[in-house]
Amino acid sequence: MPLALNKTGLSRLPLRAAIFVTLACAAIIASTGWTEWASRDSEMRNAEIELGNLSRSLVQHADGTAEIAGSLLAGMVIALEADSEKSERIARLQSFLNMRKTGLDRIHGLFVYDEEGRWLATTEAVDLAEYNNSDRDYFQRHRNSPDRATFIGRPVHSKSGGQWVITLSRRWNHADGSFAGVVLASVEVSYFWEFYSRFDIGSQGSIALVSKDGIILARNPDNGSIGRDVSDRPVFKGIGRHASEGAMLFQSAVDGVARLGFYKQSDRYPFVIVITKAQSDVLARWRHDAIHRILFVLGLVALISMMGFYLVRQLLNGQRMAVALVAKEANFRVLAESSSDMVTRIGVDERISYVSPSCVTVVGWRPDQLTGTAALAGVNALDLPRVRKTVAALKRGNAEEARISYRTRHREKAEIWLESNLRVTRKVDGEIDGVVAISRDITEQKVLEERLETLAVEDGLTGLANRRHFDDRLQEEWARALRDNKPLSLLMIDVDHFKTFNDRYGHPAGDECLRSVARILAGEMKRTADLAARYGGEEFALLLPNTDAAGCARIGQRICRQLQKAAILHEVNLPSGRVTASLGGAVCWPGTERSASRASLVEAADRALYAAKEAGRDRLVMAGQIVALLPLKSTAR
């Protein structure tokens, strides 16, 4: 484009050019500074995410260790309290401990003490008569409290080995309910120390397992802090004040080092995992790369400054140099406006005439491999008609721009999702000569959307369908049964005396009970159309398309038998002493029973369920009949 400059314009142009170069250099430096700061924040966020993921994994590990110990202790308490002969039960228990000693894995040792603190049985090879644990805090707590739950105590030095151990203990009683003693499991602190040493958290980082009351149970590196009370530290006071997990950025009161920390509280046990990493370790790689990038930018700014100075001098010689400066300025704008998104120029023949170098990052292909090829060649066949329709509308001039998402081939990956912003380009006379597309990879966003869709129809505890998904499927299967004149069966399942199960064994055990029942129901979904759902609380539903009353009853009987085989302990649920369920079944032919509805099918199954409960539970009742079950096999309690 010709440059029309008057005499005044020529005198002002060098000044304007100098101002522009100065502002451009300042903008580059400011943009670089902002980018580097954003990169620093991103590095900190990534480190926070890594520490968060690690802390959650370590909490699961600590929970798993406590759960193993708790299960062993519960079994020992049952064995002690169920056996009436004291000498024989101790001998049998010692024999049991001897057999289990080699398979304890994470558990260092198991112990049984009487009401005076004397050692009755243990996995340790020691003289029991030499030891008495009545002075231990956990022993005094159990002696003074009727609480039967597992108690996690402070770290102590083992009397048998001298090493630091974490204690998990439970009270056991005489037949009259009075205090009979303590069963105890110990975990060596060194086990956690060695496990935590596997993770790279930098030379100045630390991983600590802390009780919720502020006592350090285990730490790596071990700096002699085991058993120390840190509840009065400002950092610990802030832990869990507003959430069960979170990140912290703080100045260490011990060594003055700035640290990034992340804590995660256990939902099941009084544990807190605290992981810290020195900020200098977190930012080491960023700092190294940032120095190189900044030096490069400073060199580029110096080069641009020199070029600007030279061009300004040349502008004083006339209009020719001014035109040359405009051309270089345009080239500079092209460089400055480059983007990490893939920019594609597509002609009216739908072939690629230009593609930016970022295509290597986005789709894995070099520009020379894409130029001249069909723009829609890699689009997924399912998305291709929609994409063609959009491109055709732009070519006809029905729209100036459009945004579309679609799947396409990647050179190294199987397939990715792209989001493209399309805009029509025109010649000087206004005729459309193609489309410019700016595309970016949105695969991760699509994966997240699909995951959220799954969560919307799935019960978080059991993994079965939730109530909303059940209602939708019931509507679909009812319409199909009506259309095809097929039967539709429904089983309603309710766990017997589940509230008393929760009250006796605790909510974690209740959750595991529901998951066990859910696994049994999932195993009965033999066909793709079958659906098992958590209907609410401890109540489940099994939707069985194209299944008559006999088939529905057979499945219900199998469920009852599977529950019998599972033999989940439920001492309050007499006479079996195991977890049982009441089942109500109903069958409907929507194509024949015109007065029936989805609600009537659910109501019929629900009435049958309540009939099963009123008839004594642990049985299946079909709407209109009672199906006898096999008697429970006797099991030792």
Provide the pLDDT for residue 605: 93
The mean pLDDT value for 515-532 works out to 91
Provide the pLDDT for residue 424: 87
Structure tokens at 538: 């401890």
Same fold, 1-181+280-337 and 342-447: yes
pLDDT tens for residues 8-37? 445 677 777 778 888 988 898 888 888 888
Provide the pLDDT for residue 495: 93
For residue 154, pLDDT beyond 60: yes
- Give the other-Cβ count within 10 Å of 510's Cβ: 19
Helices (H), 104-249: 137-144, 189-196, 234-238
Residue that has been written with the tokens 């062993």 in this structure = 72
Of 1.10.357.10, 3.30.70.270, 3.40.50.920, 3.40.50.970, the CATH number of 457-627 is 3.30.70.270
Residue that has been written with the tokens 């380009």 in this structure = 425
pLDDT tens for residues 99-134? 766 667 778 888 898 889 888 888 887 777 788 888
pLDDT tens for residues 568-599? 999 888 888 899 999 999 999 987 877 788 89
Long-range contacts of 634-637 (CB under 8 A, 24+ apart): 635/567, 635/577, 635/578, 637/82, 637/571, 637/577
pLDDT tens for residues 504-515? 999 999 999 999
The mean pLDDT value for 449-469 works out to 79
Long-range contacts of 413-421 (CB under 8 A, 24+ apart): 413/364, 415/380, 416/363, 416/441, 416/443, 417/441, 417/442, 417/443, 417/445, 417/446, 418/362, 418/363, 418/442
Provide the pLDDT for residue 203: 80
The CA distances from residue 168 to 151, 202, 264, in Å, are 6, 32, 21
Structure tokens at 381: 């066949």
The model's confidence at residue 455, banded by pLDDT at 50, 70 and 90, is low
Mean pLDDT of the chain: 82
Q: Which amino acid is at 512?
A: E
For residue 563, pLDDT beyond 90: yes
Q: Give percent of the chain above pLDDT 90.
A: 21
Provide the pLDDT for residue 122: 83
Residues 220, 195: Cα–Cα separation, whole Å: 9
Structure tokens at 338: 């480059």
pLDDT tens for residues 197-208? 888 888 888 888
Q: Which helix (H) or strand (E) holds 494?
A: strand 488-495
In the CATH hierarchy, which fold is given to the domain comprising 1-181+280-337?
Answer: Beta-Lactamase (3.30.450)
pTM for this structure? 0.44
Query: 342-447 has which CATH code?
Result: 3.30.450.20
Provide the pLDDT for residue 205: 85
For residue 255, pLDDT beyond 70: no
The mean pLDDT value for 464-484 works out to 92
Angle at 250 between CA 249 and CA 251, to 5 degrees: 145
Provide the pLDDT for residue 3: 43
Name the nearest CA neighbour of 453 among 469, 442, 441: 469
The model's confidence at residue 253, banded by pLDDT at 50, 70 and 90, is low
For residue 553, pLDDT beyond 50: yes
Most confident of 40-49, 151-160, 468-477: 468-477
**Is the pLDDT higher at 46 or at 236?**
46
Provide the pLDDT for residue 238: 67
| 411 close to 359: Cβ distance less than 8 angstroms | no
Q: Out of 331-340, 397-406, 500-509, pick the least confident.
A: 331-340
β 258-265/271-278 pair status: antiparallel
Provide the pLDDT for residue 631: 41
Helices (H), 124-207: 137-144, 189-196
In 3-state terms, what secondary structure has residue 377?
coil
The mean pLDDT value for 242-265 works out to 78
Q: What is the residue extent of each domain of the chain?
A: 1-181+280-337, 342-447, 457-627
For residue 320, pLDDT beyond 60: no
Provide the pLDDT for residue 158: 81
The CA distances from residue 360 to 340, 343, 410, 412, 422, in Å, are 10, 12, 10, 11, 20
